[in-house]
Structures are given as structure tokens and as C-alpha cells.
Structure 1
Amino acid sequence: MSTEPYSSRGPRSPRPPRGAKPAGPPRTGDRRPPRDDKSRETRGRDDRGHKDRRDDRGHDREQRPEKLPLSPTLLRQRVLDVLPTDPLPVIVVKAPSPHPWIYRKRLGSIGSNARHGDLVELQLIDGSHFGHGLFNPRAELSVRMLTRGDEFPTGQWWADRVQTAVDVRRKFLNLDKDASAYRLVHAEADGLPGVTIDKLGSIASLEAFSPGMYQRAEAIAKLAAQAAGCDHWIVRPGPATLEQEGFEGESFASPDCPPKTTIEEFGTKFEIDLRTAHKTGFFCDQRENRRRLAQWTQGKSVLDICCYTGGFGVQAMRLGKAAEVTGVDLDENAIKSARRNAQINKLDMRFVQADVFHYLRDMAATGRTFDIVVCDPPKFIRHRDERDAGRRKYYDLNRLASAVVAPGGLLLTCTCSGLMPADDFVRTVATAIPADRRASLLARTGAAADHPVALGCLDTEYLHAAWVRMGDPVT
């Protein structure tokens, strides 16, 4: 999800909302040290195989205005158990819609006691009740809806939402039989906008994208861990929260939460180092696409571009019996993890730390081709004003990737940029393929079923994968 730029204003004094319960003692559990400047710039999916602050030609990307972070005193953890009788700040919605996001331009008057992350009561212009949401005065996306009408988000409401989301994965989708890592809570699709939670073996890993959810992250993580049978939990702020939401929080975890965990996916083991991993720690959204790819890899050569910790490549060799696999990524820590994942599965794979654009040019220059090329790059479009530049990057990368697919081979190319519609992505891929190559689209896929799309918020569909067969050159 991305929002329009907003003007940065200094934080207000940490005055609690009228009638709210005290925030309580400082957060418990092990706290991780603050990230240094370098890790802040490169965290998330944005450094899988590509330099974060430069484009593929080495030019500096347009710099967005720097935001001053919200005071840490305004990010203290809050309780979930608010009562319907507790007075709340009131915000008037002058342009209501069924969408769970309310942008600032749709708001009327805002109660003077409304603060960052507050649970607020939403009213229409005529004074009628509209619902409840979490407020962020520093973002254009100012309110994320929780309830509508007379429903009130009590502590039991939160517990029920989390339990329902977990039951969908464990009882309806029956994911435990195939994997020990999957998404437990998927933001708007589970009625909890601004937060995602993954089950990573015995750890519930939470990522918060808004100050309101970050302030309630510990309580939510505990609910998810209990519902999913996890022994530990960890909380991380989402990428670009300073730029988009105006806050920057620390990661923290339950006492004795291990720094590493090992999960299984269709019998394949993956070790996750929570100290260096991106986002929640593992990209569960590509689980079904990794298994599907294995159907075509037996005896084939595979190139995994932006391989991160080796998910596609490892599954191509272990499940799909590929003859050879090469993984390429710019991130040194990702390459180390990928090698470790190949090792624990007793696989002989090759990994290269390199900028993928340069690597693909080198392969094309030497005439090297692969039977299957997987291209799962970083999010090139994080904001609306990056659409044109991001589209050019996807074009350039797919032009280079398609050039190293052997005749009759397969190109699996993906985008995780939610601001790029699926049709737009496919058209970009189609135009990127050289005119002297016959190509056909075999299938389109997206995220696994544990990452559902909210039908009331189609913006939540973010992952698109195109399966392209590259035919013989046109003569």
C-alpha cells in the first residue's frame, strides 16, 4: 500500500486521549538494537538484487522530502480492551465510502483531542454514527477503518478477529499439512488494516504499517501466537513507515525469542535469521508459485534472479530435481542464507552476489542461456510518483531476463508493486520481449491463498506472476 506525500509536522506533546487508559509500563521482552542508516535504507523487499537508492544505470533516484520521525513517547504500547463507554475523539467523515481507507481530503472536523494512533469515533455530517478506526494525522491515509455502524472494537473484538483469521488458515485452508510457515493475518482482508502476521514455525512474526497498529502490536502478536500455537512472537515496523506514515519504530520480541528458526515447505527446510531477514522474515506469498515451478524444472538449468534466501531455486532443485541452479542477489546476507538453505537440504547449488542487471548483461554478452529463468525483483513502485520510473525498470529487467532464456524455455516473472495492475505488468513484459522471439503467456498467478484480496479493498492485490514460454527465434 502506498499513500500520497504529506507535509511533515513536528510531533505534538504526548498527551493521552480523553478517557483513554494509561499506556502502562514500557514494552516487555527482548528489544533489538536500532538499525543503522544503511540497514534503514535497504530493508524490505527493496534490496533483493538491486541497489536501493540508485537505478539500474547507477543514477540517483529522485529523493523524496525527508520526514522527521514521531517522538518515541507517542509509540508506547497500548491495551486493546477499550470499553464502549470510554470517551473517544470524534472525527467527521464528509465523504463516506465502503472502503476501509479514509484519506484526509474525505474528513471534516477532527476532534482537538485526537492523537497519533488513537481509536476514534467516526460520525457523518448529520451527526449519525459511521464507525470506528485508527487515526494518523501525519499521513494522507488518515483513518483505517476497524468497525462500521454500532459495532465497537473491544478487547474481545480484537481476539475474535485474530482467531477467525487463524482458523481460516489452519482449519479451512489446512495449511499445516504442507507448511509450517504461512500468513496468519493479512491486513484488510482479515479486517485488521495496517498489520500482517506470519507463522514462522514456533514464532508469530508481526509487521506493523501504521502507528495505531504498532502501538497495539505486542497485544496483537500475543493473541496471534496463542491462536496459532506459537511459543514466541516478534514485532517489526514495516518498510518506509517514516516516509509514508511519519513514524519509525524499533523491533522487539517476546522474552527468549530465538534469533533463528527453521521452517518447512512441502518437506523442504528453510532457515530464517530474524536478525537480517526482510519484512516478516520469509516470503510466504510465493509458496504455491514455488511448488508450481518445480513441475517444469526436472533435468533443467535454472536461473533465480533476485533470489533472496533461495526459495525458488531451492524448491526447483529439491522438489523439481533441476540439474543445475544459479541464484543471484545483491544482498550479502541473503546470499549467505540462500547457501545455508541449500546446505541443510543437501543441494549442490551456485549463488552469486551481484547486481542482477549487470549479471544479466554479462550472461547475454557471453551467450549463456538457461532453460528456466525466475525473475522476482524488489518493489520498483512504492509511490504513485514512481510509476513511470518503476515501469521502465520492470521493462529493462524483463528485456534482459528474456534474452537469457533458451529457446523453448520458461520465464517466470513477478511484480510485488501493488500500484502496478496485473494487465499493465503483462503489457510491460510483452513489450520487453525482443521482437525476434516468439513468446506466449501460459498463465497468470498471484499470492497464495493465505494472502487473500479484500473484495472491499481491491488495492490489496499486490503480487502478479506471469508464466511466459519463450519460443524459437523468428527467422
Structure 2
Amino acid sequence: MKPSKTATANPPIHLTPRGAARIRAGHVWVYRSDLKDQKPKAEPGSLVAVLDEKGRILGDALYSSSSQIAIRMFAVGREETYAVELPEIVSNRVAAAISYRDEVLQQTEACRLVFSEADFLPGLIVDRYNDILTMQVLTQAMDREDLRRAVMDSLREHFPNSTIFERVDERIRELEKLPAKESGVVGKPQKGNAKTATIFNMNGLRFHYDVSGQKTGAFLDQRENYAAAAQYARGDALDVFTYQGGFALHLYQNCRRVTGVDMSRPALEVAEENATLNEYNLEWIEANAFDYLKDQSVGGRAYDTIVLDPPAFAKTAKNFDTAIRGYKELNLRALKMLRAGGTLISCSCSFHVSEADFMEMLGTAAADAHRRVRILEKRNAAKDHPILMGVPETNYLKCIIARVD
């Protein structure tokens, strides 16, 4: 197998045996500590040939001169990049990612169009909210002008009447040693003016979206879990960490009363706007989730359905023990507050807490609460967030739906 013509413009990068084994096992990241020369002469953001310790070609990768993830494999064990220009491949992969969503998604105007490594476009994330597309560039390579242009041209071709808005993560740009820039509109629709706010449909409900929001998006990875949770919901429901009401609004379709709790007032204000948009009447509580659950539990409050959807408690492996304690406290409180036959929907988006870890925590909480718990469904992220085999980081979301007796 030959390296690509583009890759041969830079000296090849040789991996240590551990780095080569990592690639052969299916992962696409190699850390700088696994390069034989940790400061190779490759240009920042360039495509490089990757060789094992014996000089055998493993494929082509995108190189970062500053990140601890030094290379992200772009073509593994095949000749895809040989004799083909890199921008053309990027454009084709964007088109393929969009085509995949067209095949597997229904009844939504909001989804993740490009999911970085899982769509073979490492360092690029694109979300769709009706007629607004948001783009995030996370690596030196994807910040190259020619690759930016390829991405933008492909998005314009498929969504000519959409605004393209770039969300900038200042910390990521600092780590990648990229020039500072501000978030803003980078592509206007063919007709009309650029938009920074819109309304989109998801699972038959309507939601507001504003690019000035505090989060990257509307937790699109939970879209299918929202619908699944609604099928089991009944009676009095509590949605903890509701953010803009994603679970709460879906629960309302089958529940007598729904309360959403979050400590962010701006998020709850959007949640109320979403409720009004759907002509729903929900209760919103601004509170710390741990304090609220404790007060409700001590007060003897009971519910038929409880959703726990906290932010990532373990952003790094060293936070694992603290995260498990946090998850257990939340789930223990919820289990004690559920009426017999009630439904618990418990989620974790912490990659460093595996499904096995999460299930063990839930089992311990159930034992301590003296409740019998039957697992009805074990779910992951929505289909627009595919899991790439060999890259466990793409398998981060856990959603457990259980009956509690």
C-alpha cells in the first residue's frame, strides 16, 4: 500500500510498538508519547503517512503539532487517500455523513450531521437545527482554509437555504495553538438573511434554538431516548437537570403533572418558551439538583416517573470516584421517592464511567434503597451519534430505563 501523494509531502511519522498496536486494535488516536520522534518535522494540520516501528505503512493521519493527541487517523490500512486531494475527500465524507442521516432519521429537523471520528472527519462537528447549521472546528487540520472551504461548500450544496454558524471553543483553539476568533455566522443562505434563532421539530414537538445559548446544542444525542422515556412515563413526573425541558416536554404527553428542575435560570426560561410553543403547562423549579432531591425526599414527596440527566461528572479518569458518588446519591434519592411500579430514567454522559460501572452503581443504590429494580431498556446515543468500533470515546452516553418496585 502506498501513502497518499499529499502525505508524502511530509516526512512519515513512525510509531512505537504501543502506538502501532493501538491503531491495529481499531483506535484512531495516537498520543504524542507513542511517536518515536515526539517532535516530527510535519507541518501543523498536515496529512502524514504513519508507519509502525518496522517501517510498515499503517495509513494516513492528520497531524497536530501541539495537541497531546498528535495524530488522528484519516485512512487506515487502505489506499483511499492515494492520488486524491484531501479537500475532495473531506467534501465527499461530509456528503456521506449527511446521506447517512437521511437514511436513518425521521420526524426531526434537528440532528448531528457530522460526528468527528465517527464520521471519519476527526476534529469536525456539525449540528442541524432546522435552517441553522452549527459547526465546530477542533483541530489544526480542520482549521485549514482549504478544508474549511471543502466543508462549507458541501454544507451549502446540501442546505442552500441554511445559515452556517461557527461555535468557537476558546480552550480548544488555545490547546491547538490556533489564532483566537469569535463565534459567528460564516455562511449565509442563498435566499434571505442569516439567522441566529429558529424553531425546530423533534419527535413531533417544537423547540426554540438560539446560537447565543450557553451550550453547544439541545442534547441531540438524547433525541431517541426522549421518545423512549415518554412511552413509559405516567402520573406525576420529575425531570432533574432538565436544561431546556427536553425530557420534561416529552413526558408531559403521558403524565398528569411534570416538574422540571435546573439551576440555570436562562435554561429554564427557554424551557418555559418551549412549553408555551407546544401549549403545555409544566412547573419549572430553579434549584440545585442534589439539594432539591434531598429536600423532596426528606419531605416525603413521591413520584411515578423520575428522570436523572446530569452533566458529565467524570470529565477525566481521575474524577471517577467522585462521579460515582454523585451518581449514587442522585439515584438513591430518586429510588426512595418513586412509588411502587414507578419508572426511573437514569442517564450518564461521562465516558470515563462505563456502562458496567453505571449499572454497578445503580445496583448498589437499589440495594441501599431496599427497592427491586427491573431494567426495561439500556440505551445509548441517538443514531446520528454512531459508535465507531475501536474508539470507545464515541460510546459515552448511557440511558437506563427501569421499573422500580
CA–CA distance in structure 1, aligned partners of residues 197 and 263 of structure 2: 22
Query: Which residue, 391, 395, 399 being the options, matches 1:457?
Result: 391
Aligned partner letter, 1:250: E
1:212 alignment partner, SS class? coil
Give the deviation of 1:458 after TM superposition. 3.0
Aligned partner letter, 2:151: I
CA–CA distance in structure 1, aligned partners of residues 237 and 300 of structure 2: 15
RMSD: 2.5
In the other structure, the counterpart of 1:210 is 139
Gapped regions of structure 1 (runs ≥ 5): 1-81
Give the paired residue count: 383
Q: Deviations over 1:109-162 (max 9, x none)?
A: 256543443333323444444332222233322111111344325221111111
In the other structure, the counterpart of 2:265 is 332
In the other structure, the counterpart of 2:163 is 232
Give the deviation of 1:246 after TM superposition. 6.4
1:114 alignment partner, SS class? coil
Aligned partner letter, 1:325: V
In the other structure, the counterpart of 1:312 is 247
CA–CA distance in structure 2, aligned partners of residues 89 and 112 of structure 1: 8
Query: Which residues in structure 2 correspond to 1:205-354 (within 5 Å)?
Result: 205-215=134-144, 216-217=147-148, 219-228=150-159, 231-238=162-169, 241=172, 250-253=182-185, 254-255=187-188, 256-279=193-216, 281-298=217-234, 300-317=235-252, 320-354=253-287
Aligned partner letter, 1:296: Y
Give the deviation of 1:275 after TM superposition. 0.1
In the other structure, the counterpart of 1:39 is none
In the other structure, the counterpart of 1:122 is 50
In the other structure, the counterpart of 1:105 is 33
Give the deviation of 1:238 after TM superposition. 4.9
CA–CA distance in structure 2, aligned partners of residues 159 and 439 of structure 1: 48
Aligned partner letter, 1:308: Y
Q: Would you say the 8 A contact 1:89–1:119 is kept in 2?
A: no
CA–CA distance in structure 1, aligned partners of residues 171 and 320 of structure 2: 17
Which moved further from structure 2: 183-192 or 213-222? 213-222
Q: Deviations over 1:197-254 (max 9, x none)?
A: 1111012212333333344456424423433555111222458637975667532322
The verdict on how the C-alpha distance between 1:111 and 1:238 changes in structure 2, with shifts beyond 3 A counting, is same
2:142 alignment partner, SS class? helix
Give the deviation of 1:87 after TM superposition. 2.1
Query: Which residues in structure 2 correspond to 1:9-408 (within 5 Å)?
Result: 84=6, 87-95=9-17, 96=20, 97-98=23-24, 99-109=27-37, 113-148=41-76, 149-152=78-81, 154-170=86-102, 172-173=103-104, 175=105, 177-215=106-144, 216-217=147-148, 219-228=150-159, 231-238=162-169, 241=172, 250-253=182-185, 254-255=187-188, 256-279=193-216, 281-298=217-234, 300-317=235-252, 320-408=253-341
The verdict on how the C-alpha distance between 1:435 and 1:322 changes in structure 2, with shifts beyond 3 A counting, is closer
Give the deviation of 1:412 after TM superposition. 0.2
CA–CA distance in structure 1, aligned partners of residues 69 and 121 of structure 2: 15
Q: Deviations over 1:292-327 (max 9, x none)?
A: 1221235x111110001101111111xx33211111
Q: Would you say the 8 A contact 1:402–1:470 is kept in 2?
A: yes
CA–CA distance in structure 2, aligned partners of residues 334 and 218 of structure 1: 34
Aligned partner letter, 2:240: I
Aligned partner letter, 2:384: D
So what's the TM-score if we normalise by structure 2?
Answer: 0.87
CA–CA distance in structure 2, aligned partners of residues 85 and 383 of structure 1: 33
Aligned partner letter, 1:288: E
In the other structure, the counterpart of 1:35 is none
- Percent identity for Structure 1 against Structure 2: 30
The verdict on how the C-alpha distance between 1:130 and 1:390 changes in structure 2, with shifts beyond 3 A counting, is same
CA–CA distance in structure 1, aligned partners of residues 201 and 226 of structure 2: 13
Aligned partner letter, 1:252: G
Gapped regions of structure 2 (runs ≥ 5): none
Q: Deviations over 1:312-350 (max 9, x none)?
A: 111111xx3321111111112211110110011111111
Q: Would you say the 8 A contact 2:238–2:307 is kept in 1?
A: yes
Q: Would you say the 8 A contact 1:89–1:111 is kept in 2?
A: no
So what's the TM-score if we normalise by structure 1?
Answer: 0.75
Which moved further from structure 2: 148-157 or 386-395? 148-157
Aligned partner letter, 1:304: D
The verdict on how the C-alpha distance between 1:417 and 1:314 changes in structure 2, with shifts beyond 3 A counting, is same
Which moved further from structure 2: 250-259 or 184-193? 250-259
